[in-house]
Amino acid sequence: MINVLIVGASGYVGAELTKYLFFHKKVNIVALFVSKNSQDAGKKISDVHKQFKNIIELTLQPICDNMLHIINKIDAVFLATDHIVSHTLAPIFLLKGIIVFDLSGAFRINNHNIYKKYYHFEHKHISWLQKSVYGLPEWNNRHIRGAQLIAIPGCYATAVQLGLKPIVKYKLIDTKQIPIINATSGVSGIGRKSTLTTNVCEVSLHPYNIFTHRHQPEIVAHLGIPVIFTPHLGNFSRGILATITCQLKLGIVLQDITNAYYIAYNNKPLIRTYKSGIPSLKSVLNLPFCDIGFVVKKQHIIIVVTEDNLLKGAATQAIQCFNIRFNFPETQSLIK
């Protein structure tokens, strides 16, 4: 059994991590932690997330000195926390030899200068930043297997990269024409601490953080080409739908595209590609899959990608990385 700790367990992603890890046959959850100022500290997780009543009755403990005692009992930790919190906590666990799965943006990009511009803080753990492994399982499986610090990709970055990487890898697109990405997320991506502007009753459909979203440099860094990325907030609770428009190189035909996606994903159990038609949100909600479809017309391709932002965009992707890291079946506890 692998003993694990979840920090930030009361949030939407933390709750999903707790659920999937609780039913993982090779995992023992040692403790659940929240920030010491959290209004959920001291409550059972079933009091905060009623779906767990009579199923998961673990207490949400506040981060304190007692956590240092628990550290000696664990093999792995999941940080479902803000990037500032992860930046502080991750090195503490790493120095104890614990495997860290960080779901924040604190260690996703090796270039520390990005953090000043997009995250508005100075990164103080450059050596760990250089050692971190980007946790996109379908494309980084081998490196995940030997990593101590695994940075789980952002929800938008996951969808966009899974949609684009096959045709980028096989050099099918004309990179002189920058891919245009429009992606819409449900309000759960902002977290449980809602404000008036993020309340479902107030949200219609609008773009935000144009040219400044933190997933933009993440996408570019790991995709290797520039993109124009515009995120949108929709008035629904969960899920992401991304529409990606690219120009193909001269001579590229539909079969070339089909072959690229088949080679990339035919043996990847959590990627579902469409031979015809395009995916919709309802096909992936509350599921650990990423669905990909595309339409080609002359020199243009439009790719449509859907995922549950809390699952394939966060929690289940982290557990997928966990399974790979500890040599368990990749979909253990994710697919029944």
Give me the active site residues, please. 155
The sign one gets for the Cα dihedral 37, 41, 45, 48 is negative
- The encoded tokens of residue 335 equal 């697919």
Residue 323's CB is within 10 A of a number of other CB atoms, namely 21
3-state secondary structure of 66: helix
3-state secondary structure of 232: strand
3-state secondary structure of 185: strand
3-state secondary structure of 245: strand
Residue closest to 24 by CA, chosen among 56, 49, 50: 56
Query: N- to C-terminal Cα distance for the chain?
Result: 20
Q: Which amino acid belongs to residue 126?
A: I
- The encoded tokens of residue 133 equal 């492994």
CB 317 within 8 A of CB 5: no
H-helix or E-strand spanning residue 92: helix 83-94
3-state secondary structure of 164: helix
CA–CA dist 268, 232 (Å, integer)? 28
Max Cα–Cα distance, the chain, nearest Å: 63
Q: Which amino acid belongs to residue 308?
A: D
